[in-house]
Amino acid sequence: MARDLVGKVAAVTGAASGIGLASCEAMLAAGATVVLVDRDEAALDAACRRLGDKALPLALDLLDAPACASLLDRILAKAGRLDIFHANAGTYIGGDLTETTHEAIDRMLNLNVNVVIKNVHSVAPHMIARGSGDIIVTSSVAGHFPVPWEPVYSPSKWAMTSFVQTMRRQFLKHGVRVGSVSPGPVISALLKDWPEENLRKAKEAGALIEPSEVADAVIFMLTRPRTVTIRDVVILPSAFDI
């Protein structure tokens, strides 16, 4: 991989596994220093030991309001500045709406919507002051198509589609690019809540993609000339039937 991100500092939320970890690995391979943000301290430490000195762990529970508000300060304390922010942390609810709980709905909407907006609100002034930066949000194909077995998750990702398009327009004049990557089903811990029959069919049909394939799209977005913004990349398994 070309080392197109040499000298850059990135931060990735939900970095201890799945798409977040794959994104960190890809950015490190491209030469960046990466702050890995996750609430799972043990998984973070294990990942950073494996990834080397340019992988910096930041244990943080983004659902804790004071901790969430401290995000930028703690990134700057680790790395000194921030060039790239990948808002990736999220959770999932699938199945019929009546099968879930109010508590699960609150947690998912807080993490998938509120935390992302708060995180961007926190990091944007730093990037605006420097006149440059990249913000990428992990959305989903469910943010572009009303998936019938995802009545809570899909609306949360439609909100991110709107948010990214709004922020892209607001931040463009400041030299800050905003885009989202919208994968179909990815082989990760989030799929544990998929209806069992849907998951079985997807595996049998080859209708799942690897986190590394999403990370490849993130690197593509980050390495375009500054005159080009990739607003949204939808990346699907070829056999995914939506």
Kindly list the catalytic residues.
Answer: 153
Q: How many whole angstroms separate alpha carbon 2 and alpha carbon 210? A: 21
Helices of type H across the chain: 18-29, 41-51, 65-69, 71-79, 102-109, 115-130, 153-171, 196-205, 211-222
Q: In 3D, which of 153, 140, 159 has the Cα closest to residue 108? A: 153
Do residues 237 and 209 touch, judged by C-beta distance below 8 A?
A: yes
Judge contact between 103 and 160, C-beta under 8 A: no
Classify the phi-psi angles of 139: left when phi > 0, otherwise alpha if psi is within -120 to 50, otherwise beta.
beta
CA–CA distance, 92 with 108 (Å, rounded to integer) = 7
Rounded distance, CA 131 to CA 89, Å? 26
Task: Report which DSSP code applies to 6.
Answer: T
| Amino acid making up residue 39 | R
